[in-house]
């Protein structure tokens, strides 16, 4: 009987000690606080901006953005969404621009702006 009481008392003591350690270790992380993945996704999404490109010429014009080629039909507008700092290059000969020339790059000031090409 005394042996069973000692086992129960020892078990309760171990549980109490373990219970006091859990709150301290539950938030422990070897590299500090865990990064919130949804916050990182929101930040990435906020750095992408939209710019409208209007083609004023009589022929289709091609643009290259991040290696992807976009064609803007004559007298039409195309909306491009890309991260800040992304460069836009002419992928066809435009008035005043040769193929491969940088037309502009995405900046905060250009958000929702319209860029016209001839």
pLDDT given for residue 27 in this prediction: 53
pLDDT given for residue 95 in this prediction: 77
Structural domains of the chain sorted by starting position, each given as residue range(s) with its CATH number in brackets:
47-117 (2.60.40)
pLDDT given for residue 3 in this prediction: 76
Full DSSP string of the chain: -HHHHHHHHHHHHHHHHHHHHHHHHHT--TTSSPP-HHHHHHHHHHTEEEEEEEE-SSS-EEEEETTEEEEE-TT-EEEEEEETT-EEEESS-BTTB-TT-EEEE--GGGTT-EEEE-
Instruction: State how far Cα 102 lies from the chain centre.
Output: 24
pLDDT given for residue 36 in this prediction: 55
Query: Comparing 117 with 46, which gets the higher pLDDT?
Result: 117
Average pLDDT of the chain to the nearest whole number: 79
Give the confidence band of 83 by pLDDT, cuts at 50, 70, 90.
very high
d(Cα 48, Cα 84) in Å, to the nearest integer?
A: 6
């Amino acid at each position: 009987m005394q042996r069973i009481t000692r086992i129960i008392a020892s078990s309760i003591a171990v549980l109490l000690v373990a219970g006091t350690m859990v709150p301290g270790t539950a938030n422990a992380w070897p590299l500090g606080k865990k990064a919130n993945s949804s916050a990182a996704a929101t930040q990435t999404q906020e750095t992408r901006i939209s710019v409208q490109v209007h083609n004023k010429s009589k022929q289709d014009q091609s643009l290259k953005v991040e290696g992807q080629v976009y064609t803007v039909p004559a007298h039409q507008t195309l909306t491009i969404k890309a991260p800040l700092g992304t460069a836009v290059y002419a992928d066809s000969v435009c008035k005043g621009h040769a193929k491969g020339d940088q037309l502009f790059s995405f900046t905060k000031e250009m958000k929702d702006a319209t860029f016209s090409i001839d």
